[in-house]
Structures are given as C-alpha cells and as structure tokens.
Chains A and B, each alone.
Chain A
Amino acid sequence: MQIKFSLNGRKLCVDTDPAKRLIDFLREDMGLTGTKEGCGEGECGACTVIVDDKAVSSCLMLAGQINNKSITTVEGLGNKNGGLSELQKAFIKHGAIQCGYCTPGMLMSASALLRENTKPTEKEIRTALSGNICRCGDYSAIVAAVLEVATGEKEPKL
C-alpha cells in the first residue's frame, strides 16, 4: 500500500506493508534507528514518536495508520539549522542521559508535552513522562531538563 506522510519535515510517499508496526517501518524501511524498542507492548515508552503533535508508542501503531499524518522522530528533533534543540541541550546539561536507551522516547514525550503546554508544572511533566521508563533512573535530572526549557530557569528547583 502507498502511504503518504511527512517524516521529520520531509513529505514522503512510500510503498510498504500497511500491517507492519510503525517502529519496524521507521527502523527498517526508513533507517531511523533512533527510535528504540524496549517492550513491544506500549509499557516502556522507548519507542515514543510524535504523530500529529501527540506522543504515541510506535510499537502499538501500524504503518498504514500514518497515512496523511505528520511524524517526528528523535532524528527530527534538532533545530532548523541542524543543531541541537533546546530540549536536547537541556537533557545533556542536566545529566538526564546515562545509558541513553530511553532518551529518544523520553525526549519525544517531553517534546509532545511542550507542544501542547509550553509552561508545564513539575507535576505535569512527571505525569507526561510516567509512561517512559528510565532504568538508570534519575528522573529528577530529566524533569529538571524539561522544566528548564519550560521556565527558562537555568537551575530549576524541584
């Protein structure tokens, strides 16, 4: 089936099996391995991508469902000049990245939150990220990074 969609700002039309999981389509057909698989049942959030401004688990969505939709993956998160986005910079600065395997999904969930709510509270951030497991586990560093982007405070107090 031909699917038309926008991927990280590029308009594409691709012939693929519509029953393929979105995560497999992105990783295998599009070569975007930044999206990670952690559980295959929508519980860990590692495979989170943004579909039309909403964070979704790409292991629970099929390729056919992205027809006429706009997809953002971690590879498309940078700023327009190809540099890091403020959110990516804040993650690096606050030590929100350890093994890094949850990072793409975490960034996508945080990014979707900030699209919807530019000034989230700490509680709203924690709720928005509660579907993303970080086993290295310093959630406060991640929350601080998102809060910095939301509030502009360099060392947000949690």
Chain B
Amino acid sequence: MADLNFVGKSFPIDNAEDKATGCLLYASDLTFANMLVMKLVLSNVAHAKILSIDISKALKIPGVKAIYHHWNTPAKQYNTYRKLPDYNDIIEDRFMYTDTARFVGDVIASVVAEDAETAAEAAEKIEFSFAPLPVIVSAKTALEQDSYPIHQKGNIVFTTEAHYKDLKHPVETIEYKNVGMSVSTQKMCHVAMETHAYLADYKNGMLTIWSPTQGIFGVRSIVCDLFGMPYNKVRVIKVPMGGSFGGKQEFIYEPHVSYAAMDLKRPVKLHLSRRDAFIGTICRTGVDTNFSVSFAKDGRIISCHVDCLVDAGGYVGNSLHMLNAMKGKLTRGYHIPDYSFNGKVVYTNTAFSGGMRGWGSPEMFTAFEIFMDKAAAELGIDPVEFRLHNVVEPGDENTANGVSLGNARGKECLKVGRKLFNWDERRNRVRDFGRFRRGVGMAYGAHNNGMFSQPSDISTMTIRMNEDGSVTLQTSLHEVGCGSVRAMQIIAAEVLGIAPDEIVVTEGDTLYTPYDLGSYGSRVTYVAGECLRKTASDFLMLLKKYASHYLNCTTGEICVRDKKLISNRSDNSISYQELATKLLINDGVELIHTEAYKSRTNPGSYLANYVETEIDTFTGLVKITDFLSVNDVGRAINRQMVYNQIKGGIQMAAGYALREELSFDKNGNVKNDRLSRYHTFNAADMPNVRVELIEMGETNGPFGAKGVGEASTIAGTAAIVNAVNNALGTNLSNLPLTPEKIVASIYNQRSGDEKCR
C-alpha cells in the first residue's frame, strides 16, 4: 500500500481551527430566541419513597414556567440504552421522574424557567417528603436473599451461565496447577470536559432535538416510543460535543427537554453542572471478578472459569448487554479450550452505570491481566512468555461465539514490546528496598471491531457530486472528538483522488442523513469506514460509466488524476466539474449514490503495554516513569490521531489503575461528586508515552484499518498495577491502588515480616 496518497499520513482534526479560535459552538454554547432553561432536581437521598411533593412556593417565583415530577408527566417506563426499536432483553425500569429515589442523583423533578438563576432558586423551594428505605451500596449485599428489593422484581437483574469448548482443538494435557484470584474494579466517571447538554424545540408539529449524542437514531426511538410520536416527526441533530468516552452513549435527558418543549411550546435547554453529570448520568460499572484457571506445566491454559458480578446501580441501563458482551472478551485475546462464565447484574443504591471506553474489555482484561501475573509467578514463567503460550493467532476463532478474530497480531505486539522495552533485562534487575522502589509490569489486551454477531451493525452513506465537481458525503456520523469526520475525509479522498479538506462530511441529522447505528463498539473506522470505502468505490465506477460515454472508451480504460477522468486509449479527459454539470443540465442525471453496509465480521484489535513505575513507600504515591504501548491497528488512517488516541487511552487507564473512583459512603452519599475531590491525570503526572504501531492489515477494514480508540485503554491499567506489584512484591487487586492502599499493604508486609521473626 505504498502508493497511498492520504491514508496513513497525519492530519489535524477537521475543525481544529474553529476549536483553536473558540468559534465552534458546542451544545452547551447554543442558545435560541425565547429559550427557556431547565434545572434538574436530583435526589439527595439514596433510597426513599417520595410521599408528597409541594411545588406551590416554587411556582410563585416570577419567571418559573413549569415544574415536572412523577405525578404530572407520562407514567411510562423506559430504558436509556434502547437504541433500536426491537432491542432484545431490554428492561424498562425507569420513569422520566421517579416516585422512588433509588440513588443519590436519581431525577425527582425539574424546573423550567426564563433563566438559570430563577430555575435554581425554584429548585430549592420544592418541598418533598420522603419515607426512607434501606440503602444497599455493595453488589455483594444486593445478592443476599433478604436484601431489600430496590425494584419490584428483586435486586438480581440478570444471570447468565455459559460454557464453551473448543472442539477443534481439544485439551490433551493434564492439569499441573490451578490458580485462583479475586479482582475488584471500581465505578469511574467519564469526565468529558463538556458536561451533558440538550436542547429541544417544538414547532409546526415537528419536535427537534439538538444533542451531543453518540446515536441520534437511538434518541429518536426512545423519544418517539415514550411519547407515541411517529419517527418522521422527531428530528434529532447531532451537535459538536466536548468529549464522551461513552458518557453520552445513553439517551438520558433528551425525553425531559422534549417533553418540556412540547408542553410549553418554547425552546428548552438543559446543561448539567459537573455535580449533576457526576451523579445523574452514567459511570463505568463496578465489577467483582473471580478466576479459577487450570494450567498445564508449560503454562498453557487448559480451562478457565470466570465469575463476574456487575453493579448496575439504581437502574439497569446497558449493564445487562454489557455483561453479555463481557462473556466473549477474554476469548478474543486468549485461546481457552474450555471456558465457562457465570455472570450476574445487580441493582444497588449507587449511581447508575454502564459502559465507558472499551465497554467491558477494560473491566475483563484489567482483572484477567492482574490474575495472569499472579499465575505466571506461581508457575515460575516470565509474564511475557506466559502470555505468548496462550494468546490467539491470525485466523483463530473466538471460542465464545465462533466468529473469526481476523488478522490477530497480539503476538507481534507482545514480542515487539518486549524488545523495545528491554523487558528481559529490566524485569530481572535486583529489587529496590529503599524508600523509592521501581518495578516493571506489562499487560495484554484485545478489543472488538463493531457489534457483529449482533445484527445491528449498519451504516448507510450517500455521496453526491455538485455541479462544480466538489463532493459532499452525507452520513450520520457522530464525531465524539476523536477524528471520525477526518478519517472519513481521508478514506473518501483516497478513493476519489480529491484532497481530504475539499470533501464535506456531514454528521447526523435524522431528517436529512441516512441511517447509522452510531458511535458504538469501536465500529466507526472499521464499519462506517468500510461502508464509505465501498460507497466511494462504487460512486467512482458510476463516474467512470458516465464518463465512458463522453470519452468513447470502456470504464476499464479510464484512470483518475487531478479530479479528471482520463481515457488511457485517447488521452481525452473530462473533469469532475464538466461531468457533473453536463449530466445534470443536459441529461437530467444527478451524480448521487447511496449504499447501506452491514458488517458481518468482527476481528480483534490487539495491544501490549509495558510500564515502569516508581513508588514512594513513605507516601504511597506512584509515579509512572516509562510507558510503551504497542498496538495492532491494522493500518493507521490518520497517523497523528492514532497516536493521540492511544496516549489519551493510557491517561484514562492510569486513572483507573491509581486514582479514579466514584465512591459512596454507607448511606449512598457520593464522597467525590466534583473535580476538586475526583482526580484525573494531568500534564505534570503523565509520562511521555512511547507508541509503536503494528500495521499488518485487516481484510474487511477500510485500507486494512481496525479500531484503536477504545482498544488503547484496555491494557494500561493492569500493566501499571502489575508494575506496582512487581516493585512491592505484592498481589494488590482491589482497584484503584490509592496511596492509602499502597501504604497499608507496605505496613501489612512489614508487620507480617515482624511476626515471622
């Protein structure tokens, strides 16, 4: 692919200049004439029945237009993740406004007023009387038979038991050792820099919603089905968003602004405060995982049993679907001939949770990779060598679903990383015993490319050529800030021989742009990108077909250069501009082509991370002193953005490993509902991450590309934890490894040593 003109080169994000000058209008920047402002009233108690609500004082405040609550809004339940009209196994367990507060942050009312100050003042004046109910903050407590039911049907939302055997490669070895371990990973906030914002307006029977969502068609399904409206009377427009990372994947408050706009016949805007975004939208789910794995003497996995307990919080959201996805995560990365998975999703009185960047992959691989280090130590095998015995190879199938893993290059990632990091030497150096202790760790990971074998992995695109030969690509893309629009410009440019900047790519607008499932499951580059490559290639054939009439040659004799279609036979040519204008004016033919693409493959993206950490044993603070990430990306479309994504993914992985936890006291109060108490990694903390790409292509990816944004964050957490464990000689597995936990483990080690003496 050496002859590519644009694919694999580096481009800034498409609207970088607008972002650098402050003129890009994000959802939170939009205002409309005559616009009203909504303020949510979120519960301050974790579990209570609302006995009564008195809105009389609040309504008297001048400027207050309406107050909505359970008893004056539609009493229909919905699920904030139902992105398809006939989605399987959807549990609809929440109202727009609840009659029972199920966690601190549950929506109990909203105020709509002329301005934000008035709305906030009125929100304070609403009087509730509550009957407190028992509070459950731990998933393990929720499992107990006599735990107080948070929803009518009890606290166990869903149970799954699965057992898969690789019949093609049966086990022929005897067990040498069985290793077990429990790992606990925590709830974590997405912390998109722009908090959630929504606008709605209702005019001439048409409801318009402006949302920085990851799925406009999902918003439409939820809103239309909730209010009984036809799908063509609700228009959802994707607007620029300041980050998502999965935080804007669900359709949480679009119904609220929509209902208010239809009721009041004025535009309504809701922009969440940071606290409301922390407690009133989704967070990464908390998971307790247990492994019991039997190994052969050479380190090969014979069988693996996983027990997984997922904490959904107050409502199920996407937790059920995520648990189902989690089943097939480890078998994407490892060859496990006998694999069983038992999983449960439970309700607790904590923030409702679901997917965050990686959707189950970071949760499963973080736990498993911490376990694998312990197992490697017990078996006396080097961690890298140990993994090399067990990881999948190109052409292997995922044991859990029989789907091909494609050109799976995890082994290359491990081997290249081992060499570049100088692993063997650094791992075997003598351990420090002073105040500062250095250790090295590594971890491996794998992630999907799209939703297949689920049936919904669909993108549709329309390419049109205007009279001047310029190209417009109509898509329902959802740019979340990681360069999807730019990637599409590059792919279209490569096929059509036009510079990326000259191609206009739309984002989603349900009234005007064709269907797309949305920005989910690392599907955008791999599935939407391939949709575009096919659509653009067929569009080029169409151009050649029409041009062949003007050039008196066959389509096979036409090549494209400088926006011209040139006959190899005669050297005659026709420019894109001439062709488009002539066809339209003379023949009444518009150059427009639409194609739908349904993905029927789901290969893996792979990575290996190598880390060095330094621990201050006095303070428990961990410094990441070196980080190498090796990533099997198939092929980079926009090289610079691939690097940006990987480094950003590692920043989140570091937070997951060491700092970030949305935590609750025993009454369900959130201990850190603001950024002054919830710490992400900043410029001074982050090391200069070294990135290496493995580009060996993938059959069904556009120009061989696979997804990277989510995959990049999967291995870093365990690699950091393993480096800390290496430095301290511990098996810490209760995340995050805060200074308190590290100091406590050192203290316990010391007192253990004293006792031994």
Interface of A toward B, CB cutoff 8 Å: 27, 32-41, 43-44, 46, 73-75, 77-78, 84, 88, 91-93, 95, 97-104, 107, 125-127, 129-143, 158
Q: Which residues of A contact B686 (CB under 8 A)?
A: 137, 139-140
Cα A61 to Cα B354 in complex, Å, equals 37
CA distance A73 to B192 in the complex (A): 22
Q: A99-B243, A99-B480 are in contact. List 13 more A-B contacts (CB 8 A).
A: A34-B22, A38-B675, A44-B193, A88-B17, A93-B12, A95-B12, A97-B20, A100-B242, A134-B193, A137-B650, A137-B686, A138-B647, A142-B683
- Specify the chain B residue showing the minimal Cβ separation from A76: B22
Nearest A residue to B686 via CB reads: A139
B243 touching A136, Cβ below 8 Å: yes
Q: A132-B683, A133-B680, A136-B243 are in contact. Are A99 and B193 (CB under 8 A)?
A: yes
Interface residue? B674 (CB, 8 A): yes
Chain A residues with CB below 8 A from B17, complex form: 84, 88, 92
Instruction: Known contacts A136-B648, A137-B652; decide if A95 and B22 are in contact (CB<8 Å).
Output: no
CA distance A8 to B685 in the complex (A): 33
Number of A-B contacts defined by CB within 8 Å:
175
Is the beta-carbon distance between A97 and B19 smaller than 8 angstroms? yes
Query: Beyond A95-B641, A97-B12, is A130–B192 a contact (Cβ under 8 Å)?
Result: no
Closest to A98 in B: B481
Assess the A36–B242 pair: CB atoms within 8 A: yes
Measured between alpha carbons, how far is A32 from B22 in the docked complex, in Å? Answer: 8
Indicate with 1 or 0, residue by residue over B677-708, a CB within 8 angstroms of chain A CB atoms: 00011111110110000000000000000000
Given contacts A46-B193, A133-B193, A137-B651, contact A143 B683 (CB under 8 A): yes
Pair A137/B241 contact, Cβ less than 8 Å: no
Contact (A103, B20) CB under 8 Å given A95-B640, A130-B683, A136-B243 = yes
Judge whether B462 is part of the interface by a CB distance below 8 angstroms: no
Q: Are B675 and A43 in contact (CB under 8 A)?
A: yes
Task: Answer whether residue B118 sits at the interface, using C-beta atoms and an 8 A cutoff.
Answer: no
Residues of B within 8 A of A39 (CB): 274, 674-676
Contacts of B193 in A (CB 8 A): 36, 38, 44, 46, 99, 101-102, 133-135
Most buried by A among B640, B652, B682: B682
Chain B's closest residue to A108 (CB) is: B22
Instruction: Sample 20 A-B pairs with CB under 8 A, ordered by A number.
Output: A46-B193, A74-B22, A77-B21, A92-B12, A92-B16, A97-B16, A98-B243, A100-B15, A101-B26, A103-B20, A107-B20, A129-B684, A132-B683, A135-B192, A136-B243, A137-B681, A140-B688, A140-B689, A141-B644, A141-B647
A137 shortest CB reach to chain B, Å: 3
The CA of A93 and the CA of B644, in the complex, are separated in Å by: 12
Residue of B15, B195, B241 touching A38 (CB-CB under 8 A): B195
Residues of B within 8 A of A132 (CB): 682-683
* Chain B residues positioned under 8 Å from A158 (CB to CB): 688
Q: Give the nearest-CB partner of A102 in chain B.
A: B193
Report if B406 contacts A (CB, 8 A): no
Q: For residue A131, which residues in chain B have a CB less than 8 angstroms away from its CB?
A: 682
A-side contacts of B669, CB under 8 Å:
none
Interface of B with A (CB < 8 Å)? Answer: 10, 12-13, 15-26, 28-29, 190-195, 241-243, 245, 273-274, 480-483, 640-641, 643-645, 647-652, 674-676, 680-686, 688-689
Interchain CA distance A77-B17 in the complex, whole Å: 12
Interface centre among A43, A100, A107, A132 (most CB of B within 10 A): A100
Q: Which residues of B sit under 8 angstroms from A126, Cβ to Cβ? A: 683-684
State the 3 A-B residue pairs at the shortest beta-carbon distance, nearest first: A34-B22, A99-B481, A101-B242
Q: What is the predominant secondary structure among interface residues of chain A facing chain B?
A: loop
| B480 (CB) vs chain A CBs: closest residue | A99
Chain B residues whose C-beta falls within 8 Å of the C-beta of A101 in the assembled complex? 26, 192-194, 242-243, 481
Question: Is A33 a contact partner of B644 (Cβ separation < 8 A)?
Answer: no
Which B residues are CB-close (under 8 A) to A135?
190-193, 243, 245, 648, 651-652, 680
- The verdict on A73 contacting B682 (CB below 8 Å), with A97-B12, A97-B13, A135-B192 known, is no
Contacts of B22 in A (CB 8 A): 32-35, 73-75, 104
* B641 cross-chain contacts in A, Cβ below 8 A: 95, 98
Contacts of A73 in B (CB 8 A): 22
Q: How far is the CB of A139 from chain B (nearest CB, A)?
A: 4
What's the least CB distance linking A8 to chain B, in Å? 11
Q: Which of B242, B652, B685 has the most CB of A within 10 A?
A: B242
CA distance A35 to B684 in the complex (A): 23
With A135-B192, A137-B652: A92-B684 Cβ-Cβ less than 8 Å: no
Is B192 within 8 A of A99, CB to CB? yes
In chain B, what residue has the closest Cβ to A20? B117
Q: Please name all residues of chain B whose beta carbon is closer than 8 Å to the beta carbon of A140 when the two chains form the complex.
A: 647, 686, 688-689
> Does B682 contact A34, Cβ atoms closer than 8 Å?
no
Contact, CB under 8 Å: A99 / B241: yes
Whether A43 contacts B674 in the complex (CB less than 8 A), given A95-B12, A101-B243, comes out as: yes
Cβ-defined partner of B648 (8 Å) among A41, A103, A138: A138
How far is the CB of A97 from the nearest CB of chain B, in Å? 5
Q: How far is the CB of A11 from chain B (nearest CB, A)?
A: 21
Closest B residue to A88 using CB positions: B20
* Known contacts A41-B675, A101-B26; A136 and B644 CB within 8 A of each other: yes
User: In whole angstroms, how far apart are the Cα atoms of A74 and B19 in the complex?
Assistant: 10
Cα distance, A32 to B273, chains bound together (Å): 20
Question: Given the complex, which residues of A lie within 8 Å of B21, measured CB to CB?
Answer: 34, 74-75, 77-78, 84, 88
Residue of A nearest to B641 (CB): A95
Q: How far is the CA of A129 from the CA of B685 in the complex (A)?
A: 11
**Pick the contact of A100 from B13, B28, B191, B684 — CB < 8 Å?**
B13
Q: Is the CB of A127 within 8 A of B684?
A: yes
Contact B674 A136 (CB under 8 A): no
Instruction: Kindly identify which residue among B26, B191, B649 contacts A133, using a CB–CB cutoff of 8 Å.
Output: B191
Question: Chain A contacts of B647 at CB under 8 A?
Answer: 137-141
Residues of A within 8 A of B191 (CB): 133, 135
From A33, A41, A139, name the one whose CB has the most chain B CB atoms within 10 angstroms: A139
The residues of A that contact B680 with a CB separation of less than 8 Å are 133, 135
Chain B residue contacts of A95, Cβ below 8 A: 10, 12-13, 640-641, 643-644
Contact check, A91 vs B20: say whether CB atoms are below 8 A apart.
yes
CA distance A116 to B647 in the complex (A): 29
Q: Is the CB of B194 within 8 A of A36?
A: yes
